[in-house]
Amino acid sequence: MAQTQSTAGKDNSILTKVGMSVLYIGLIIVAVFQIYPLIWLFQFSLKSNSEVFGMSPFALPQDPKWENYVRVWTDGNINLYFFNSVWITVVSVLLTLLFASFVTFAITRMNWKLNKLVLGLFMVGLMVPIHSAIIPLFSFFLELNLIDNPLSIILSYTAFNLPLTIMILLGFYYTLPREIEEAAVVDGCSIHRIFFQITLPMTTPVLATTAIINMIYNWNEFIFVNTFISSDKFKTLTVGIQNFIGQYLTDWGAIGATLMISIIPILIAFLILSNRIVEGIAAGSVKG
């Protein structure tokens, strides 16, 4: 009997090891498929047009053109576009998180007649296609003299990201214990101090999750910038890349270098906030 149990235990241990090995092999394969496009893009950014069209797309560059990065950063105004992308994205994300936190706090922590209606109006925003809002927004910003003004981009990013951000924050706010806030009220804490000093710090994990989602959208957005901005001094990377596309000649190596530069900030932000993102998803998935 004891020998049978020992044999069964060994078999289960072997099966566990085999299962874990298969799992790790599968994860490695997925990781390769995820990482290789970045490696390919980096190789592509070091090629000249002759290498792009005269060699296999998977071949290594024979003579790496590091000057592609120097050329796009200086001659191609990528430094200016990069700076515009950074500050517009940061400002838009901060405004979105702040306003979404205000709305979510008011809906989940305050009793007022129209809170359900206001929540429904924000959720309707999830169903509004961006393309259908381009003409009305253009007319609106034209009347306010905000065409070719970065404020039009910031307002558009903030407005279109609010519904999704509020929806994500709602699930997390419902899990927060009210006892902490009730104790603060008993101690004489004002509603503003409760929000900024108690509730907002507790929502850091989910704010990190929504921040990275908003950053990716704002950083890669093209339609609003291309429609509302015409001056080079306000363009972002997504629109500035068109400088390297000509009627008769396209500098593919420069385009690859620009794409590589545009990817790096998002990768860095994701690596820094990755733990917070997992915490936010895990905390918001279970109520109570």
- Position 103 scores a pLDDT of 92
Q: Kindly indicate the confidence band of residue 288, based on its pLDDT and cuts at 50, 70 and 90.
A: very low
Non-local CB neighbours of 281 within 8 Å, separated by 6+ positions: 209
- Position 247 scores a pLDDT of 47
Q: Kindly indicate the confidence band of residue 4, based on its pLDDT and cuts at 50, 70 and 90.
A: low
- Position 100 scores a pLDDT of 95
Closest among 206, 127, 215 to 170, alpha carbons compared: 206
Residue 131, token pair as written in the block: 């393309």
The architecture of the domain spanning 74-285 is Orthogonal Bundle (1.10)
Residue keyed to tokens 């592509």:
44
Where do the H-state alpha helices sit in the chain?
A: 2-45, 49-54, 67-74, 78-109, 115-124, 130-143, 150-173, 178-186, 191-193, 200-202, 204-220, 223-228, 237-240, 252-285
Residue 244, token pair as written in the block: 């390297």
Query: 10 Å Cβ neighbour count for 74?
Result: 10
Q: Which residue has the higher pLDDT, 99 or 109?
A: 99
pLDDT tens-digit map of 155-202 = 999 999 999 999 989 888 888 888 888 888 888 888 888 888 888 888
- Position 280 scores a pLDDT of 57
pLDDT tens-digit map of 37-71 = 888 889 988 888 888 887 777 788 888 888 888 88
Beta bridge partners of 250: 245
Amino acid code (one letter) for 246? G
Domain segments of the chain: what residues?
2-45, 74-285
Mind spelling out the 3-state secondary structure of 105-120? HHHHHCCCCCHHHHHH
Closest among 137, 130, 169 to 155, alpha carbons compared: 137
